[in-house]
Structures are given as structure tokens and as C-alpha cells.
């Protein structure tokens, strides 16, 4: 639906009906390229430009945080040449987006295991995170070498170590305790999970955090995801009745 002149985007959706946190499984870069007879890397390059566009759109809409599934712990199974290209693309994205990150007052956070990520990539990522530390705008969470099961393993190990050291009693472990030991500690859980390329699975992404997230799937591949698709996802979210296991309000 096109906006009338001077009408703000999503004017029909009040801020309180919009998701505060959107998580995105950015799928279909390779398929988008192959359908056009292009190398898979062309799809990844186009996907990186969409990340920039979507990040700025979400920031302009007042979304509190977005979490992007950049590289899963399973993606290392891909051909070495593709992984090497993805690492270089990630590094270049992190460098190129610093000006936009600072201009849009974004805060950057990495979610995932640091091992296996090349040191030269980590160095640039850490620099960008440090630069944005004093910002107060939207959180841009980059899930890199991320796996939901691995995250739960890491949290369990941290809790077990505290129990062994006498710092924590097993009976004192609660859902809040576990949440506080995840990569996302201190961040709100996603309200909306968006998945592109039509796949009906969560692919080991934020398994704990999306327990009550609304899920919206589009057949568009990630390089085709645009402002129209983002608005469609937010409108779908706004139309749903989130009861969190309770009964609908019949008043």
C-alpha cells in the first residue's frame, strides 16, 4: 500500500502495535543469484546491501532492536571458497557501515562464538562495537558463528561452573538466570521472527528467545526483501492477538 504524500511510513500502525525487537533469518542469497544465472557470491553481495537498507528502515521506524542471522554455526559446512568470501564480505560490511552506524546512533553487538572467526575480522568487528558503545539508538545484533543449541550449551557450562565454585545453588537456577547467561543477556526477546525464501523452520536460531515470538515467512529471497516486505511483516504482527498462553480478552 503506497503512502500518500507527506504520510509517514506505517502511519496506520500505532507505535505500541509495532514489534520492539525483530529477528531476521536472511535466507535465499544463493538461490536468488542462481535463478539469475549469477555466482552465489553475487547473491551475498546483494544481501549485504539489503542489510544496510533494512537496518536504516527499522531505525527510522523506531524499532528498538533487530537481530540478523549472518552466519550460523552450521554454515561452516559450505565450500571453503564461499566461507572465505563471506568472511571478507562481513569484514568489509563492518568497516563500510561505521559511518551509517554512528549517524543513525546504532549500538552493535555480536552474538555467537568467536572461535573460528578470523582474527582480522574480529578486530574490525570489535572496533565497530567499541565505536558504537556510547550510542543510545537501536541495537543492531549480528549473529555470527551462532547456533541456538550451542548458546544453550555455553550457558549451561557457565552455570555449572558457578555451581561448582559454590557461587550458585542448583535450586536457585530460574528462567531469568538462564537468560542472563545467554549471548543475548540484557536484551529483550524478539517479538517478531521474519524468515525469507519461504522456508518453514527456525534453523537453530534463538531457540530460547523466540518462545513467544510471532513468526512471519515470505517467499521473497533476502536480496528481494525491501521496505514493502518489512511493512507487510509489521502489519501482520500488529494484526495478531498475542496472548502468551492466556485467554483472549473478552471485555
Residues annotated as binding site for Mg(2+)? 27, 214
Cα–Cα distance for residue pair 226/220, rounded to 1 Å: 9
Q: Are 69 and 205 in contact (CB under 8 A)?
A: yes
Show binding-site residues for substrate: 28-32, 40, 44, 72-74, 76, 78, 195, 201-203
**204 is an active site residue:** no
Angle of the 40-60 helix axis to the 227-238 helix axis, nearest 10: 50
* Catalytic residue of the set 75, 154, 204, 226: 75
Residue among 44, 32, 144, 140 at smallest CA distance from 86: 44
Residue among 109, 100, 110 at smallest CA distance from 58: 100
With a CB cutoff of 8 Å and minimum separation 6, the contacts of 19 are: 63, 190, 191, 192, 214, 234, 237
Residue position matching grid coordinates 537453530: 204
Q: Are 10 and 57 in contact (CB under 8 A)?
A: no
**27 is an active site residue:** yes
What single DSSP character describes residue 205? S
Show binding-site residues: 27-32, 40, 44, 72-74, 76, 78, 195, 201-203, 214
* Catalytic residue of the set 6, 27, 96, 249: 27
**8 phi, psi to nearest 5 deg:** -65, 150
Angle of the 40-60 helix axis to the 80-96 helix axis, nearest 10: 30
Return the active site residues: 27, 75
Amino acid at each position: 500500500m503506497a503512502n500518500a504524500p507527506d504520510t509517514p511510513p506505517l502511519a496506520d500502525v500505532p507505535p505500541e502495535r509495532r514489534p520492539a525487537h525483530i529477528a531476521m533469518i536472511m535466507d535465499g542469497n544463493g538461490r536468488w543469484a542462481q535463478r539469475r544465472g549469477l555466482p552465489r557470491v553475487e547473491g551475498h553481495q546483494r544481501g549485504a546491501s539489503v542489510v544496510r537498507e533494512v537496518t536504516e528502515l527499522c531505525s527510522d521506524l523506531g524499532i528498538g532492536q533487530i537481530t540478523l542471522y549472518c552466519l550460523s554455526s552450521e554454515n561452516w559446512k559450505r565450500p571453503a571458497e564461499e566461507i572465505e568470501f563471506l568472511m571478507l564480505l562481513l569484514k568489509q560490511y563492518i568497516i563500510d557501515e561505521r559511518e551509517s552506524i554512528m549517524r543513525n546512533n546504532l549500538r552493535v553487538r555480536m552474538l555467537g562464538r568467536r572461535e573460528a572467526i578470523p582474527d582480522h575480522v574480529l578486530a574490525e568487528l570489535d572496533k565497530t562495537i567499541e565505536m558504537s558503545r556510547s550510542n543510545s539508538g537501536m541495537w543492531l545484533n549480528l549473529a555470527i558463528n551462532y547456533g541456538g543449541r550451542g548458546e544453550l550449551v555455553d550457558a549451561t557450562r557457565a552455570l555449572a561452573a558457578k555451581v561448582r565454585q559454590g557461587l550458585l545453588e542448583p535450586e536457585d537456577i530460574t528462567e531469568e538466570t538462564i537468560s542472563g547467561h545467554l549471548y543475548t543477556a540484557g536484551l529483550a526477546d524478539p517479538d517478531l521472527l521474519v524468515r525469507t525464501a519461504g522456508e518453514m523452520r527456525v534453523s537453530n536460531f534463538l531457540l530460547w528467545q523466540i518462545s513467544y515470538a510471532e513468526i512471519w515467512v515470505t517467499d521473497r529471497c533476502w536480496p528481494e526483501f525491501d521496505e514493502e516486505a518489512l511493512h507487510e511483516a509489521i502489519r501482520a504482527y500488529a494484526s495478531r492477538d498475542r496472548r502468551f498462553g492466556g485467554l483472549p480478552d473478552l471485555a
